[in-house]
Structure formats: structure tokens, C-alpha cells
Structure 1
Amino acid sequence: MKFSSTLAALCISGLVASSLPAFAYSGESLAKDAKISLAQAQTIALSAQPGTIVDTELEHEKGGSSLRYSFDVKTSANIVHEVGIDAQSGAVLENSIDSGND
């Protein structure tokens, strides 16, 4: 009986996990070096610039600790802002209209 309960629980948890979307982003392999999680960085970015995140990167770039999350955030006016969050401190490093020239 204990075996069938365990098996049922494993099957249910497998179904739940498989229904969650896989969210991969550029630079995901650098996440182990970040003190701030992706979820925390997203919350900070959306506090700095409300909207919908349409692109995510974790990259080495000048400024702050040199490891930063970069989010493209689309506003309700369809303007895309680039919001940079320091992956070590959570500081907002950038919040500017994305020119699309990167």
C-alpha cells in the first residue's frame, strides 16, 4: 500500500512539473554566479519599469558587479525599455528606452 501511495504521488508531481513552462534565457549558465535569483531580478525590474517582460538575459557587462540581468520590458504604450539589474546586489543599473541597436 505504501508503495502505491508513493508511486501515485510521484506520478502526480511529474504531471504538475511537466505542465510548467520551461523558461530558458540567454546566459542561464551564469545563474550559479548570481546572488539575486531570476525571479527576484524580475520583480525589481518590474518595480522600476511596469510592463511585460519580453526578453531576458544574464550577462557580463560593465557597471555594477559586471554580472547583470537585462530585461526588455514592454509598456502598455508598446514602448520597450531595457532594464538592467545587478545580479549581486539587485541594484537597478539601467532603465532606458531600448533603441534596438544592440
Structure 2
Amino acid sequence: MKSRYIIASITGVSLSLMGIVGAQAYSGENLAKHAKITMTEAQGIALKARPGTITDEELEKEKGGSGLRYSFDIKGTDKVVYEVGVDAQTGSVLENDKESSHPD
């Protein structure tokens, strides 16, 4: 009987932690309900504008465009990190420049 209780407790704690950790897959995900463009669509737009590998992504309120943008750090084929901003309402590329604060 004790082992069933322990297993049930561990399962409950694990599910609770999964809910906490899995609640936000990327920074700003809580803003996604206000976006017309999904994260997946924005990733495609960003990678078309700047081929490479996405190393960081977020959805944020920021000046310019509609005021809601996806921001991606993309390590380009030249090994330089670029910041690419995609408007979350229109899908327009708002920024595509070298990341100024990246240590590489």
C-alpha cells in the first residue's frame, strides 16, 4: 500500500512540475494570443530572411511595426549571430542585423 502511495505522489509531483516548466516554451509565449502570426510561421520568415540556426527566440512588445514582434537570434552560415525581428501581426521583417550584444 505504501509503494502505491509513493508512486502516486511522485507521479503527481512530476505532472505538476511538467505543468510549470512546460507552461512557457519560449519567452513571451503568453502574448501569443494577441499575434496573428504563429511562432512557427515567424521562424520560417526569419530563416528565409537570414539562413542559419535559431539560437534564441522570444515574443515581445517593442516599438516599431505593430508593437508586437518575434525576435530571433540566428547564427548565420558565416558563424555571426544576427537578430531578426518579425512583426507578429503582419509577418514583415522589422530587423535583420548583426547582434550587437553577443559575445562571439
- Give TM-score scaled by structure 1 length: 0.75
Pairing 1:1-102 to 2, within 5 Å after superposition: 24-100=25-101
| Letter aligned with residue 48 of structure 2 | S
Unaligned 5+ segments in structure 1 are 1-21
Deviation digits for residues 31-79 of structure 1, max 9, x if unmatched? 0100000000000000000000000010000000000000000012210
SS in 1 for 2:100: coil
Moved over 3 A (4+): none
Name the CA distance, whole Å, in 1 between partners of 2:94 and 2:77: 22
Return 33-42 or 70-79, whichever deviates more. Answer: 70-79
| Letter aligned with residue 45 of structure 2 | I
| Root mean square deviation, CA, Å | 1.4
Name the CA distance, whole Å, in 1 between partners of 2:25 and 2:44: 17
The alignment of Structure 1 onto Structure 2 pairs a total of residues equal to 80
Name the CA distance, whole Å, in 1 between partners of 2:92 and 2:77: 24
Unaligned 5+ segments in structure 2 are 1-21
SS in 2 for 1:44: helix
